[in-house]
Amino acid sequence: MYYIAKRLAFYVLAAFVAITVNFFLPRLTPGDPASTIVATYSTSLNAESLAALKAAYGLTDEPLLQQYLTYLGNVLRGDFGRSLSNFPAPVMAVIGAGFGWSILLGLTSVLLSFVLGSVLGAIAAWRRGGWFDKLTPPVLLFLGSFPYFFLALLLFYVFCFKLGWFPMGNAYSSVNPPALNLAGVGDILMHLIAPAFTIVLVSLGPWTLNMRNAMIGVLSEDYLTLAEAKGLQPRRVLLSHAVRTALLPNITALGAAVGAVFSGQLLTEIVFTYPGLGYSLMRAVSAVDYPLMQALFLIITLSVLAANFFVDTLYVLLDPRVRTGGEA
Amino acid sequence: MSLSETFGAKARRQLLGSIPVTVGLVILGALVAASVLAQVIAPYNPKRATGGINEPPSLAHLFGTTGQGQDVLSQFLYGGQNTLWVAFSIAVLTTLLALVVALTAAYFRGWVDDVLTLVTNVFLVIPGLPLVVVLAAFLPPGPLTMIMVLTITGWAFGARLFRSQALSLREREFIAAAEDVGESRWRIVAIELLPNMGSVVAAYFVNQVIFAITAQASLEFLGLGDGGQITWGSMLFWAQNSSALIRGAWWTFVVPGMAIALTAFSLALINNAVDEIGNPRLRADRLLRRAGVRKPSATLMTPVKRDA
C-alpha cells in the first residue's frame, strides 16, 4: 500500500505541475499573447464574455496569487471557460463530446498492440534465429519509423479512398451517434478499424522487441534449466515460466507508452477525421482557440496520469516483489 | 568518444560489416547529401509555381507537383535541409541538457539528486504532444521556437538514462580508486564517468534525431510551424490542407512522408545494430553458432539434453 500511496502522491504532484504551467504560460510568454488574443476577439464578443476572457488571461488588476487561486478553484470544479471557436459553448462541453471516442480508439489500439506485440516477441524469442525472428525486427523497425500521421495518410488513401473497404472518416455513418444495437456497434467498429490499425502498426515494434529481448534474458535463467530438467514440456516451460516473467518489463513500459501512443493517436484522429480529442485539438489550433487548447492539454495530461496510475496498481498485483516493499 | 574507442577494433569491423548498418548508412548518407546539395541539384525554385496543379510524376517534374503547382522534388531537397538542421540541433541540445541534469544529480547526490529526479519524472509522465502544442501556440512560429519547445520537452528520458548509467558506474572500483587518490568530484565526473558513458550517449543522440524529426513534422502537420518555410512537415501540412488525398495526388504526401520515415529508419537500423553488438546476451547466439555449437533444442537455451 505504501508503494501505491507514493505513486499517487507523485501523480498528484505531476497534475499540479501541469495545471500550474497551464496557468502561467499565457502570462509569462514573451510578446504578451494574452493581449493579442483579447484584441483579436474584442470585436466579436460581448462585454461580459470579453471580461471573462480578460480574467482568464490575467488582464485584470487582481494580484497574481488571487488569480491563481481562482484558477485552481475553477479547474477543480471542471470549469475551463468558454471555447472561442464554438462560442458560447463551454470548453468542457466541446471536449466531452470527443472524450469517449478518443478513449474507445485509444484503449482498443493500445491493448491490441500490447497483446499482439508481446505474442510476436515471445514467438520470435522462442524460434530464435529462425526466419520469423530474422524478419520481424527490421519490418517492425521500419513501420515504427513512420510518423503516425503519415502511415494514417497512406492507409486512408489505400483502404478508405482507393479500395473503399472502410468509410472515409468520422466514427459513425449517421449524423448522430447510432444506437448501441448490433447494426450500430457494427457501424462504429467499421469506422474504428482503419485508425486503430494505424496506431497498432506504428506502436507494435517496441512491444515486440522488448518482449523478445526480455524473453531471451529470461530463457538463460537457472530456474528455466530446472523447469526443463524436471521434465516439463517446452511449451509449458515457455508459457507458464518464461512468458510470465518476461511480460513484467513490458507492463512497466505500458504506462510510459500510453502517453506516447496518445500523442500519436491525436494525429491519427485528424487524418481520419475521427471526432476525438485530437480532432478538437487541430480545430483549436487552426481557430487559435486558446481556452480549448489549454483545456485539452490538461484533460489529456490528467487522463494519461490516471492511466499510468492504473498500470502501477496493476503492476503491484502482478509482481510480488513490489508488494513486499522492494523498489520497482 | 568515438564508436571505435567504445567497442574496440573487432567490434568496429563487425559493425561496419553488418548488413543493417550498411543499409542504414547508405540511406542516411544519400538523404543528407541530397539535402546539403539542394541549392546545386534542385531543378526549380521550391516556392514558385513551376508546373500545373497536382501533376503526376513526369520527366519535367520527377516527383510531380503540389496543389500550388510547385515542384515536389525541389521542395523535398530544400525541405530536407530545413528539417535536418533543426532536428540535429534539437538532438544536440536535448542530449547536452540531459547530460547536465544527470551528471549534476550524480555529482551532488542527496537532495539535489532527489529534486532533479522528481523533475525528470514529472517531465516524463506529462504527454509530449499536447504540451508541445500549447507551448508552440503561445510563441511565434519558426525554427527557433521549434528547437526551444522540443528541447524543453524532449530531454527527460535521457536524464533518467544517463543518471542510472552514472550511478551504476559509480559503484565500480576505478571510481573508488580515483576517490582514494584524492581526485576532485568534478574531475571524477568529467574524466572518469563521462567517457565511459560514450556508447549510451551516442545511442541516445541517434534516437533523439529520430524523435526530433518526427515531433517537428507532427507540429508542422498540425499547423504550428512557420507556414512560409519549406520542411518535410510543412509539405505534409499543405498536402493535407489542399485535400491531396481525395484528389489522388499521392506523390505530394508520399515523398515527404517517406523522406521522414527513411531517415528515421536508417538511424534506427544503425542504433539497433550498435545495441546488438554492445549487448553480450544478444550476441552470444551468433558466437555460439560460429564456434560450431549446435543448440540442443531450438526452443530453449538451457543445457538440458533431450532425446531427439
Percentage above 90 pLDDT, chain A = 4
Q: Which residue has the higher pLDDT, B70 or B262?
A: B262
The two counts, helices (H) then strands (E), for chain B are: 15, 0
Confidence (pLDDT) at B96: 95
pLDDT at residue B87 is higher than 90: yes
Percentage above 90 pLDDT, chain B = 16
Q: Which residues of A touch B128 (CB under 8 A)?
A: 259-260, 263
Is residue A198 within 8 Å of residue A151, measured between CB atoms? yes
Q: A43 in helix, strand or coil?
A: coil
Confidence (pLDDT) at B281: 54
Please state the rounded mean pLDDT for residues B176-185: 83
Rounded to 10°, the helix B198-221/B128-138 angle is 60
Q: Which residues of B touch A21 (CB under 8 A)?
A: 131
Segment holding A303, helix H or strand E: helix A290-318
Confidence (pLDDT) at B269: 85
Please state the rounded mean pLDDT for residues B229-252: 84
Amino acid at A291: P
Q: Which residues of B touch A161 (CB under 8 A)?
A: 245-246, 248
Contact state of A216 with B281 under an 8 Å Cβ cutoff:
yes
Distance from CA of A219 to the nearest CA of B (A): 6
Please state the rounded mean pLDDT for residues A161-190: 76
Please state the rounded mean pLDDT for residues B69-91: 89
Is residue A276 within 8 Å of residue A96, measured between CB atoms? no
Q: B65 in helix, strand or coil?
A: strand
pLDDT at residue A247 is higher than 90: no
Confidence (pLDDT) at A115: 92
Q: Which residue has the higher pLDDT, A132 or B276?
A: A132
Confidence (pLDDT) at B4: 42
Residue among A141, A216, A266 minimizing CB distance to B129: A266
The predicted-structure confidence for B52-73, as pLDDT tens digits, reads as follows 777 778 777 778 887 777 888 8
Residue to mutate among B23, B117, B118, B138, with most A CBs inside 10 A, is B138
- CA angle, B120 as apex, B119 and B124 as ends, to 5°? 120
Q: Which residues of B touch A265 (CB under 8 A)?
A: none
Contact state of A281 with B130 under an 8 Å Cβ cutoff:
yes
Is residue A220 within 8 Å of residue A226, measured between CB atoms? no
Minimum Cα–Cα distance from B263: chain A residue: A145
Contact state of A285 with B223 under an 8 Å Cβ cutoff:
yes
Residue to mutate among B301, B305, B306, B307, with most A CBs inside 10 A, is B301
Q: Which residues of A touch B145 (CB under 8 A)?
A: none
Confidence (pLDDT) at B15: 57
Residue among B214, B245, B272 minimizing CB distance to A156: B245
**What is each CA distance from A306 to A300, A315, B255, in whole angstroms?**
10, 14, 39
Distance from CA of B298 to the nearest CA of A (A): 7
- Residue A307: pLDDT band (50, 70, 90) is confident
Confidence (pLDDT) at A314: 83
Minimum Cα–Cα distance from B256: chain A residue: A150
Minimum Cα–Cα distance from B264: chain A residue: A145
H runs (alpha helix) in B155-291: 156-170, 173-181, 185-187, 194-196, 198-221, 232-241, 251-278, 280-290
Task: Kindly provide the residue ranges of all beta strands, DSSP E only, lying in chain A, ordered along the sequence.
Answer: none
Confidence (pLDDT) at A30: 64
- Residue B32: pLDDT band (50, 70, 90) is very high
Residue among B139, B285, B300 minimizing CB distance to A237: B300
pTM, entire model: 0.80
Is residue B279 within 8 Å of residue A203, measured between CB atoms? no
Q: Which residues of A touch B131 (CB under 8 A)?
A: 18, 21, 297, 301
Confidence (pLDDT) at B296: 42
Confidence (pLDDT) at B298: 44
Q: Which residue has the higher pLDDT, B237 or A39?
A: B237
Nearest CA-CA partner of B302 in A67, A238, A48 = A238
Q: Which residue has the higher pLDDT, B8 or A30?
A: A30
Contact state of A130 with B298 under an 8 Å Cβ cutoff:
yes
Total number of residues shown for chain B: 308
- Residue B308: pLDDT band (50, 70, 90) is very low
Eight-class DSSP state of B46: T
Segment holding A15, helix H or strand E: helix A2-28
Spatial separation of the C-alpha atoms in residues B46 and B77, rounded to whole Å? 9
Q: Which residue has the higher pLDDT, B66 or A323?
A: B66
Distance from CA of B184 to the nearest CA of A (A): 31
pLDDT at residue B124 is higher than 70: yes
Spatial separation of the C-alpha atoms in residues A224 and B303, rounded to whole Å? 10
Please state the rounded mean pLDDT for residues B263-275: 83
Q: Which residue has the higher pLDDT, A256 or B78?
A: B78
Contact state of A266 with B261 under an 8 Å Cβ cutoff:
no
Q: Which residue has the higher pLDDT, A226 or B14?
A: A226
Confidence (pLDDT) at B5: 46
Integer-rounded Cα radius of gyration of chain B = 24
Confidence (pLDDT) at A75: 82
Q: Which residue has the higher pLDDT, B87 or B301?
A: B87
Kindly give, in sequence order, each residue whose CB lies less than 8 Å from that of residue A44, ignoring residues fewer than 6 positions away.
A87
pLDDT at residue A327 is higher than 50: no
Distance from CA of A293 to the nearest CA of B (A): 7
C-alpha cell at A234: 517446452
Distance from CA of B230 to the nearest CA of A (A): 17
Q: Which residues of A touch B260 (CB under 8 A)?
A: 146-147, 150
Residue to mutate among B237, B247, B271, B304, with most A CBs inside 10 A, is B304
pLDDT at residue B107 is higher than 60: yes
Which residues sit opposite B259 in a β-bridge?
none
Minimum Cα–Cα distance from A218: chain B residue: B301
Contact state of A14 with B140 under an 8 Å Cβ cutoff:
no
Percentage above 70 pLDDT, chain A = 87
Q: Report residue A77: phi and psi, to 5°.
A: -85, 0
Q: Which residues of B touch A157 (CB under 8 A)?
A: 245, 250, 253
Confidence (pLDDT) at B240: 82
Distance from CA of A189 to the nearest CA of B (A): 23
The predicted-structure confidence for A109-151, as pLDDT tens digits, reads as follows 988 999 999 999 888 888 777 788 888 877 888 888 888 888 8
Q: What is the mean pLDDT of chain B?
A: 80
C-alpha cell at B220: 508542422
Chain A and chain B share a number of CB contacts under 8 A equal to 177
Please state the rounded mean pLDDT for residues A198-215: 86
Confidence (pLDDT) at A308: 86
Please state the rounded mean pLDDT for residues B194-214: 87
Residue among B125, B253, B268 minimizing CB distance to A153: B253
Q: B109 in helix, strand or coil?
A: coil
Residue to mutate among A127, A149, A309, with most B CBs inside 10 A, is A149
Residue to mutate among B27, B125, B242, B297, with most A CBs inside 10 A, is B125
pLDDT at residue A5 is higher than 70: yes
pLDDT at residue A239 is higher than 90: no
Q: What is the mean pLDDT of chain A?
A: 80
SS3 content of chain B, % helix, strand, coil (to 5): 70, 0, 25
What is the set of domains in chain A, with CATH numbers? Answer: 91-327 (1.10.3720.10)
Residue to mutate among A297, A302, A312, with most B CBs inside 10 A, is A297
pLDDT at residue B101 is higher than 80: yes
Is residue B35 within 8 Å of residue B80, measured between CB atoms? yes
Residue among B218, B221, B268 minimizing CB distance to A141: B268
Minimum Cα–Cα distance from B255: chain A residue: A150
Confidence (pLDDT) at B271: 83
The predicted-structure confidence for A8-42, as pLDDT tens digits, reads as follows 999 999 998 888 888 888 777 666 666 667 776 66
Highest mean pLDDT among A300-314, B178-192, B272-286: A300-314
Confidence (pLDDT) at A128: 77
pLDDT at residue B23 is higher than 80: yes
Q: B108 in helix, strand or coil?
A: helix
Quick check: ipTM above 0.90?
no
C-alpha cell at A156: 486512408
Confidence (pLDDT) at A83: 74
Q: A276 in helix, strand or coil?
A: coil
Residue among A137, A216, A285 minimizing CB distance to B133: A285
Phi-psi region of B64 (alpha: psi -120 to 50; beta: other; left: phi over 0): left
